Amino acid sequence: MGYEPLVNQNPLRVLNLGRNNKQMGLIMARAGLGKTALLVQIALDSILRGKRVIHISIGESIEKTKMWYDDILQIILQDGSVTNPHELIDMVQHHRMIMTFKESTFSRARVEERLNDLILQDIFKPNCLVIDGYDFERASRESLEDIKELLETMSLQAWFSAVSHRGDDRVSPAGVPAPCHEVDDLFDTVVLLKPEKDLIQLDIIRNNGGNPEQGSGLTLDPTTMMVKKQV
């Protein structure tokens, strides 16, 4: 497709993205630190590698989610390395679908039903799900295991976001904070976003079978919300 440089030069390569079709990843941070921006960049990387992505937004509108993609795409296009920007925009539109749920209606059964409708009607067959806004505080381990089973059955990769809270000091042996401290073993990759001076550090706790230390030096620019290698 001609986007190999964007893929190969993406700092997110250290996360072993695409190594496992059934990979389940988790992005954690306090509110407002850039979880959605990072999920969108993971989704765009998957699209640039020829995959199809469904972005599930829980408790948010399609318009707000689409704005994240539009804003980050504009930043990518501004560096001038894409010779046919309209082609890239069209490809993202055709390889991405945004799906919304109310918090009270999100479940494995509802997701499975909607995915099967899309696939059986040959409308859209995803390779990757981005699940933004999953309520880890209220959800049981069993419900998350149920979703993981669905992902494995359908050979889907999935990335979740979770909100951590400053006043909650519960943490798993691996260093994953609440409310995911008792389910972190279900995830192949875990990334924490931590504010450090004028940057947001990506602390890679688990890296899909790779060495977590490979991710040291990755930051999220709080102005553009783009992932960069720290220099």
What is the per-residue pLDDT across 97-138, written as a single tens digit (0 to 9) for each? 999 999 888 999 999 999 999 999 999 999 999 999 999 999
- What mean pLDDT value characterizes the chain? 91
Average pLDDT of the segment spanning 70-86: 87
At 86, phi and psi to the nearest 5? -65, -30
pLDDT of residue 198: 85
Asked if the model's pLDDT at residue 187 lies above 70, the reply is: yes
Q: What is the pTM of this model?
A: 0.94
pLDDT of residue 22: 76
Q: Distances in Å between the alpha carbon of 214 and those of 44, 115, 117, 131, 203?
A: 21, 34, 40, 25, 10
**Domains, the chain, with CATH or none:** 4-229 (3.40.50.300)
Q: Percentages helix, strand, coil for the chain, rounded to the nearest 5?
A: 40, 25, 40
Residue closest to 107 by CA, chosen among 68, 151, 146? 146
Give the residue, 44 or 208, on which the prediction is more confident.
44
pLDDT of residue 213: 56
pLDDT of residue 215: 46
Burial state string for 23-48 with b = 16 or more CB within 10 A and e = fewer than 16: bbbbbbbeeebbbbbbbbbbbbbbbb
Residue 8: band (very low, low, confident or very high) from pLDDT cuts 50, 70, 90: confident
Asked if the model's pLDDT at residue 219 lies above 50, the reply is: yes
Asked if the model's pLDDT at residue 214 lies above 60, the reply is: no
* 186, burial (CB in 10 Å: exposed 0-12, middle 13-18, buried 19+): middle
Residue closest to 68 by CA, chosen among 93, 47, 39, 97? 39
CB 35 within 8 A of CB 132: yes
* Angstrom distance (rounded) from CA 214 to CA 77: 27
Give the residue, 195 or 213, on which the prediction is more confident.
195
